[in-house]
């Protein structure tokens, strides 16, 4: 995307370089870049919107796609693909295990889920990295209770209509989860504890309660403790 059409926060332009190197290795030929342009990782499901709303966008061929892992998914699948081609899973928070160890990606996906479309608003792209850099360092939370996974850089389209700009955005943030096992932590996706609404008997009961037969508070406390 032309740099002049983007709002860039901090070092976003340097963070995709390992992705470009991996894409080149995967394709067997170098990824060509153009002066005055910025490479933005894009979810495959977002390509149609990108090409429809941003005529100046240049999309790389499918051979430059990369396999990624979804931090959580709303569909079954084997793996996640990124950098202009992705399939199977729908998730905007992604891990690139063979490229980044300490970073993860947040991408825009124009799909309505829960409270809204899973894109990245211009305000979120602007505030997140600045809050992480300017506010988090002066906070004093108990590290045994609270850890902040900081957002390091972002990009969002400069279209004057935020409803359109949000479809072309990406954020690099710290990958706190990667070392959770080494810290003796077990991570739980909070929404998994309340998910319900499945068809069949007991559809109004959270799935985790039904599957693990956690029909009393004592059982739930014991289960969470384990």
Write down the pTM of the prediction. Answer: 0.76
In the numeric block, the tokens 């700009």 are attached to 165
- The answer to whether residues 34 and 4 touch, using CB atoms and an 8 Å cutoff, is no
SS3 readout for 28-95? CCCCCCCCCECCCCCCHHHHHHHHHHCCCCCCCCHHHCEEEEECCCCCCCCCEEECCCCCCCCCCEEE
Give the pLDDT of the chain (226 residues) as one tens digit per residue. Answer: 999 999 999 999 988 888 889 889 888 898 888 889 999 998 888 888 999 999 999 999 888 888 887 776 554 332 233 333 333 345 677 888 788 888 888 888 877 765 667 788 899 999 999 999 999 999 888 878 888 889 999 999 999 999 899 999 999 998 887 777 788 887 777 777 877 766 666 677 888 888 899 999 999 999 988 8
DSSP string computed for 112-173:
EETTEEE---HHHHHHHHHIIIIIGGG----TTT-----EEEEEEE--SSHHHHTTSEEEEE
């Amino acid at each position: 995307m032309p740099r002049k059409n983007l709002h860039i926060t901090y070092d976003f332009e340097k963070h995709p370089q390992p992705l470009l190197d991996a894409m080149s290795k995967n394709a067997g030929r170098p990824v060509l870049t153009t002066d005055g342009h910025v490479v933005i990782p894009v979810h495959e499901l977002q390509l149609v919107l990108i090409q429809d709303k941003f005529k100046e966008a240049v999309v790389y061929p499918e051979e430059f796609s990369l396999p990624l892992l979804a931090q959580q998914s709303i569909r079954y699948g084997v793996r996640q693909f990124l950098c202009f081609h992705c399939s199977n899973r729908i998730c905007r928070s992604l891990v690139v295990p063979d490229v980044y160890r300490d970073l993860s990606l947040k991408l825009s996906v124009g799909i309505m889920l829960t409270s809204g479309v899973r894109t990245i608003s211009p305000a979120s792209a602007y505030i997140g990295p600045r809050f992480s850099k300017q506010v988090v360092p002066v906070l004093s939370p108990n590290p045994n209770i609270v850890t902040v996974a900081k957002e390091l850089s972002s990009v969002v389209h400069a279209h004057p209509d935020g409803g359109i700009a949000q479809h072309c955005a990406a954020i690099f943030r710290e990958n706190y989860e990667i070392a959770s096992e080494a810290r003796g932590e077990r991570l739980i996706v909070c929404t998994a504890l309340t998910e319900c609404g499945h068809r069949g008997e007991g559809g109004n009961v959270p799935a985790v309660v039904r599957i693990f037969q956690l029909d009393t508070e004592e059982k739930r406390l014991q289960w969470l403790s384990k």
